[in-house]
Amino acid sequence: MLFHDLYLQQKRVILGFLTSDPVYTPPGRVVGRVCEAQTGKNHSTGSDSVTIAQLQLREGSETLKKWSNVRVPIYMSFHLFNITNPEEFGAGEKAEVKQVGPYVYR
């Protein structure tokens, strides 16, 4: 599954990509939350409170059990890009991007 969203607000742009499968659903939701926090846009659904509760790694929680006892090694790379010409891009020109990362989880 490819998670691809572009959020624009004022002069700040975040372009996020995450390649994963259903095992990685919580990190995908985290990336969405980071985009929301950075842009101030709220793309809420009715399940937000459930999602937040499921993402918390608390002692005795199902999420902590699943994340601490993974049977296969997990390797994830996050490649984030900053658009360096947001005004021109907003006017329809080609985006000029600068890579930030990659951020790797092992």
pLDDT digits (tens), the chain, 106 positions: 333 333 333 334 444 444 444 444 455 444 444 444 444 455 555 566 667 777 777 888 888 888 788 788 878 888 899 999 999 999 999 999 999 988 887 7
- Does residue 43 contact residue 36 with C-beta atoms inside 8 Å? yes
Measured on CA atoms in the order 61, 65, 67, 68, is the torsion positive or negative?
positive
Parse the chain into domains and list their residue ranges. 2-105
Residue type, 17: F
